[in-house]
Structure 1
Amino acid sequence: MVQENKGKKMGLLAQINIAIVMAAAIILALCYFSTTDTVDNVITEEIEPYSVAVLSDGSKEYFFKLVDYDYHYSGISFYTSHQLVTAYNMGREIYSFNTTGGFWTSSPGSSYHFIEINEKMVQIAVIVKPVYDIVANQKLTFYIGSTYGMYDGLMTNSMPRFFVSILIIFLSVLLFLYYAIMREKQQLGRELLYLGYFSFFAGLWSLNETDVSSLMMSNKIVDSLVPYICLMLIVPSMIMFFDAYLGIRCITCRKIILSYSVGQAIVLTILHFTKIAEFRETLIFMQILLVVAGFYLLVGMISMLIKRNFSRRLEICAMGLSLFILTLIIDLGQYYLDLGDADKVGRYLFLIFAFLLAFDMIKDANEIIEKGRRAKQLEVFAITDSMTGLFNRNAFESHVKAGGSLEGLVAVVADANGLKKCNDTYGHEAGDEYITIVANIFNSVYGKYGNCYRTGGDEFCCIIPANRHVNMDRLKKLFMSKVYTANLEGDHVFDIGVAVGHARYDSELDPDFRALVKRADAHMYENKRELKAAIS
């Protein structure tokens, strides 16, 4: 019954997991389709500056004519990354974005800018100053239209990607909780924990890269630090996870990559906070290390395929990781070609990939538990008497062979009287019922204090340990009264008769356990003779 309940619980957990996945998929679909509506009567179009001037400090000044735009156009929007922005109308400042992070960073971060305009404005100038030389040649795209419409459009298009990034982080949190709760019970390896770290840093990085995050994030300092820190932390967790999950075991290569990753993180952090070279200026080194880590994993999988070391895990990684690395390369290329959220596909594949990996590991852990449970069941079946539910002769012999201290031990034996007559008169089914009734009575009285065994066809024994102080004469009277009650109130055609005896270990009389049981048998046969004499 207990095992059945456990099986039902496992089935219920599996159903809950499937329900969560389906709910997440439905929410994602609703999020996508409910955010694809366009705002009616909203005009948004790209606008080109009529003149661009390069200033002596490296800034670029963009001039826009507005004479051809009426009241329907309420703003100009554009996106910059690590640029200071100021806008003027007729020499009067109408917009600025120039608050840097001071000690934390010299950059104001990345942001969408919305400069409000009206039909009275003839011309505006936008000055964009790069914080780092490496971003000086960013190609900016300007749009003019309804400020609300442009903002809503950006939010609408980015919301599905934002939601997927949230799901990746949520998945990592679930992995952490699952590992903390089930680590001991399922003897989980650290690969599940490493996957949690890998998913968390990847999800946090991808979340920060979405347009939704850029529009909603008020702390641009965090916005300019988090993605770089996440990129530095992704590599160690990724290497440690796949090494443990696949068993690549290239210790030298792993140590080199992990040591270089830690060293690089320390050096780049020092360079950043000393203002020698901030994270954005050293981003290329983080990206190169990420590609090297991906290449290491691909080579490791290929070597396992060459060695014909096939496994379900390798198949999952061969498909998922190959696609993930391919999209990583594409997204990195897109990062340098276009501003804004360059991770168009990778986060979707990563969510599916991470879910498959987590599902596979949890499934393996559950299979181990199920095998252990079945082994335990077989072990229980091997030492349990199927008819009575008591321990069987094998269990009794195992106890005898185990030895141990006999001091204070009590052996109780019982024997059903007239079983052969019951079988001959009423059949073996009645005989089985007879044995079952005697076993139940014997276990109900003596089983509270020790282990009860069916040692033969109609023979029973209970071994009571020394730490159980019981009145054996009282238990004998209770046992005989229950036999009497069973005969009086029982709905069966035969009369139950049982002889019982016991013996407490005596070092002078009992050289071993079997001698103790033999003395209990002798006591039982005395009781049998007394019962026969009483009947006659």
Structure 2
Amino acid sequence: MDKLIFKIYCLFFVIACLIVAVYAFISVGKTPKWPYLNNTGIAITSLNEQADSDNAYSVTLDSSEIINAGGCLSFSTTFTDTRVYSNEELIYESLGSYSLFMRSNGNIWHFINVANENHPIIVKLSPVYGDTSLSVPAFMAGDYYNLRSNLVIRSTPALLVSILDVLFGIGMVVFFLITRHIDPSNSRTLFLGLTAIMIGFWSMGETDAMIVILNNRTLAGVIAFLILIFIPVPYVLYIHDTLWADDKSIYRIPICLCLFDFLLVTGLAITGIMDLKQSVIFTHATWATGIIYVIAAAANTIKKARVRKNISSSESPKTQTNLPTVRLPLANESKEQQAIFNAGAMLIIVAVVGVEIIHYWTKARTQNDLLGRILLLLYIVVLAYRNIIESLKEIENGRMAEYYRKLANTDSMTGLSNRTPFNHDVEELRNMEEYSIISIDLNDLKRVNDTKGHQAGDSYITNAANIINEVFGQSGVCYRIGGDEFCVIIKEKESSSITKKLVTKMESRVKLHNEENPADPVAIALGYENKTSDDTRDYNEILHLADEKMYE
């Protein structure tokens, strides 16, 4: 189920990327170019403001004041069609694209060249969405380059914080890709990285610097609204893996709502009912479900931790003994601390999201939330650090566990598998239709130990083991199951013909070894038995017959 949901999420994300690509390569809206003189910017006061019946505004400005300041009029609008007139002549026009996914140009800074000081400038503002009201923007005048550069410089701190979000996210994704073969369960680092990347790109697009730099504002708006749809999914998955891993179904609710939201808003846009801006209310609703899930996950984990703590503290002293106390790993304590940290930090995310939503609905600027952006960055950095450190510990624990597992299943003298995996693998043969078992015994080992010493006996065993592994190791699994007893299990198809060829090769290899090492010869006795698909014998009979043939 989870794999299916993830595949659908990836499919929708690819579709969203295709929508962005279309808007990136198709020019929409009207973006004029301007040549200007150098000067500083000043605030311009309107001479007259008039509201029309259709929620539009007409603002009259003194052109001579603009020209004296540098000849460039600058102001920002949100979801607004803008026309500027001088002597009833249209000198500037910025209209929405009125395309399916985005009818307006979103947030945009306007820079208008004013050359005629004899006639006032009239700015006409019309809402793209007729049911929304307009507020008169603040007008600035000055040099074109100076106005643009000041906007970029003013919003640079917020832009840098957003870039750092993206970089930390990329770092976490790269860390996951590097370590996934060592610790495949460390998907939470991937989820947190994807969340940071999308938050970074989204908040980056809301800065004045990007609004000024990226001329295709319709493309920027489509990217922002689509990213908003996908952000909650990886973060909910991160919280699920970190705080509420025993939840089997609730976490799917906000994820499925996000997927449904994508289908809904794209369907509304394609049918012309609503564009992405108008349907953003549904996206905000899915965000709300994600926030509720995160808070519930943190509260659930803290509640469980407190219950465990109360049970531990309520234990009667009479039940205590004088036995030494063993300090167990602080897994539960660490999880409780992680829950408390996430619960507190979630308040920061709620505040940041709340500020962004308020800015959106009130059409306020997005530069006043720098503190929230910094706090969000710190949250991501701390989470990244905690998760990477925890992942490294798990990797080290996994390596140690693998080392001890291999140590427990490997014969220390020969490096072959020992009796423990042999017993396990033999039991698995009951479910197989075709295999071969080769029983092997070392002749004369007792005589070598008695006449040459146990060191020579050990060398005898290792030489024989090397030959056995060299001949049979690529086709089957070799085991040392006793002092001088070995066994090989071959599970491949046509194992009978493979075994026959390898037994012949074994005899030749022993003969070659004895010719090259006359002082340390080996004598190996073996017998084998094959199980075919039409054979009704069980593995015990096959093993017994192999042993009997070894002594023939």
TM-score by length of 2: 0.67
Is 1:300–2:327 an aligned residue pair? Answer: no
Match of 1:377 among 375, 397, 403: 403
Is 1:147–2:169 an aligned residue pair? Answer: no
> 1:325 is matched by which residue type in structure 2?
V
For residues 355 and 74 of structure 1, do their structure 2 counterparts lie closer, same or farther at Cα, with a shift above 3 Å needed? same
Match of residue 525 from structure 2 = 502
> 2:471 is matched by which residue type in structure 1?
Y
For residues 121 and 156 of structure 1, do their structure 2 counterparts lie closer, same or farther at Cα, with a shift above 3 Å needed? farther
Deviation at 1:316, TM superposition (A): 4.1
Deviations 1:421-476 (A, max 9, x none): 656xxxxxxx54x34543443344343124363843xx465658635232555334
Deviation at 1:483, TM superposition (A): 3.2
Preserved contact between residue 446 and residue 475 of structure 1 (Cα < 8 Å): no
Match of residue 411 from structure 1 = 440
Deviation at 1:375, TM superposition (A): 2.9
Match of residue 477 from structure 1 = 511
For residues 346 and 411 of structure 1, do their structure 2 counterparts lie closer, same or farther at Cα, with a shift above 3 Å needed? same
Is 1:318–2:347 an aligned residue pair? Answer: no
> 1:413 is matched by which residue type in structure 2?
L
Deviation at 1:114, TM superposition (A): 0.8
Match of residue 442 from structure 1 = 464
Question: How far, CA to CA, are the matches of 2:302 and 2:253 in structure 1?
Answer: 23
Matches within 5 A, 1:72-221: 73-118=70-115, 120=117, 123-133=120-130, 135-169=132-166, 186-188=183-185, 194-195=191-192, 198-221=195-218
Match of 2:480 among 453, 460, 463: 453
> 1:323 is matched by which residue type in structure 2?
I
Deviation at 1:352, TM superposition (A): 4.3
Deviations 1:258-299 (A, max 9, x none): 666566655555555566555444545543553453244224
Identity of aligned residues (%): 19
Question: How far, CA to CA, are the matches of 1:236 and 1:400 in structure 2?
Answer: 45
Match of residue 330 from structure 1 = 355
Structure 1 stretch 168-177 or stretch 308-317: which is displaced more?
168-177
Deviation at 1:413, TM superposition (A): 0.6
Question: How far, CA to CA, are the matches of 2:427 and 2:236 in structure 1?
Answer: 51
Deviation at 1:152, TM superposition (A): 1.0
For residues 66 and 288 of structure 1, do their structure 2 counterparts lie closer, same or farther at Cα, with a shift above 3 Å needed? same
Deviation at 1:59, TM superposition (A): 2.5
Deviation at 1:253, TM superposition (A): 6.4
Question: How far, CA to CA, are the matches of 1:382 and 1:277 in structure 2?
Answer: 65
Deviations 1:477-504 (A, max 9, x none): 32323433xx5xxxxxxxxx65624143
What SS does the corresponding residue of 2:158 show, helix, strand or coil? helix
For residues 182 and 248 of structure 1, do their structure 2 counterparts lie closer, same or farther at Cα, with a shift above 3 Å needed? closer
What SS does the corresponding residue of 1:469 show, helix, strand or coil? helix
Structure 1 stretch 106-115 or stretch 174-183: which is displaced more?
174-183
Preserved contact between residue 348 and residue 375 of structure 2 (Cα < 8 Å): yes
What SS does the corresponding residue of 1:470 show, helix, strand or coil? helix
Match of residue 30 from structure 1 = none
Deviations 1:209-262 (A, max 9, x none): 122322233333223333233333334554444334421777786566566656
Deviations 1:351-409 (A, max 9, x none): 44445545655665555554443333223323444455455576777788888899673
> 1:329 is matched by which residue type in structure 2?
G
Question: How far, CA to CA, are the matches of 1:236 and 1:464 in structure 2?
Answer: 47
What SS does the corresponding residue of 2:141 show, helix, strand or coil? strand
Question: How far, CA to CA, are the matches of 2:193 and 2:240 in structure 1?
Answer: 15
Deviation at 1:151, TM superposition (A): 0.6
For residues 227 and 401 of structure 1, do their structure 2 counterparts lie closer, same or farther at Cα, with a shift above 3 Å needed? closer
Match of residue 27 from structure 1 = none
Question: How far, CA to CA, are the matches of 1:167 and 1:409 in structure 2?
Answer: 61
Question: How far, CA to CA, are the matches of 1:252 and 1:453 in structure 2?
Answer: 48
> 1:210 is matched by which residue type in structure 2?
T
Preserved contact between residue 76 and residue 110 of structure 2 (Cα < 8 Å): yes
Deviations 1:143-197 (A, max 9, x none): 1222101111222233443344345456656666776786676443765665465
Match of 1:58 among 52, 55, 58: 55
Question: How far, CA to CA, are the matches of 1:400 and 1:258 in structure 2?
Answer: 45
Structure 1 stretch 127-136 or stretch 344-353: which is displaced more?
344-353
Deviation at 1:113, TM superposition (A): 0.6
Question: How far, CA to CA, are the matches of 1:407 and 1:225 in structure 2?
Answer: 63
Matches within 5 A, 1:380-399: 380-387=406-413, 389=415
For residues 358 and 318 of structure 1, do their structure 2 counterparts lie closer, same or farther at Cα, with a shift above 3 Å needed? same
Match of residue 529 from structure 1 = none
What SS does the corresponding residue of 1:218 show, helix, strand or coil? coil
> 1:327 is matched by which residue type in structure 2?
V
What SS does the corresponding residue of 1:144 show, helix, strand or coil? strand
> 2:110 is matched by which residue type in structure 1?
H
> 2:148 is matched by which residue type in structure 1?
Y
Uncovered stretches (5+) of structure 1, i.e. residues with no partner: 1-40, 424-430, 488-496, 524-536
What SS does the corresponding residue of 1:504 show, helix, strand or coil? strand
Preserved contact between residue 232 and residue 290 of structure 2 (Cα < 8 Å): yes
For residues 136 and 462 of structure 1, do their structure 2 counterparts lie closer, same or farther at Cα, with a shift above 3 Å needed? closer
Matches within 5 A, 1:275-294: 278-284=275-281, 286-287=283-284, 289-294=286-291
For residues 346 and 289 of structure 1, do their structure 2 counterparts lie closer, same or farther at Cα, with a shift above 3 Å needed? farther
Question: How far, CA to CA, are the matches of 1:220 and 1:422 in structure 2?
Answer: 88
> 2:339 is matched by which residue type in structure 1?
L
> 2:287 is matched by which residue type in structure 1?
L
Matches within 5 A, 1:321-360: 321-335=346-360, 336=362, 338-341=364-367, 343-354=369-380, 356-357=382-383
Question: How far, CA to CA, are the matches of 2:247 and 2:416 in structure 1?
Answer: 53
Question: How far, CA to CA, are the matches of 2:158 and 2:67 in structure 1?
Answer: 34
Uncovered stretches (5+) of structure 2, i.e. residues with no partner: 1-37, 307-331, 473-477, 491-498, 531-539
Question: How far, CA to CA, are the matches of 2:427 and 2:358 in structure 1?
Answer: 72
TM-score by length of 1: 0.69
Question: How far, CA to CA, are the matches of 1:446 and 1:440 in structure 2?
Answer: 10
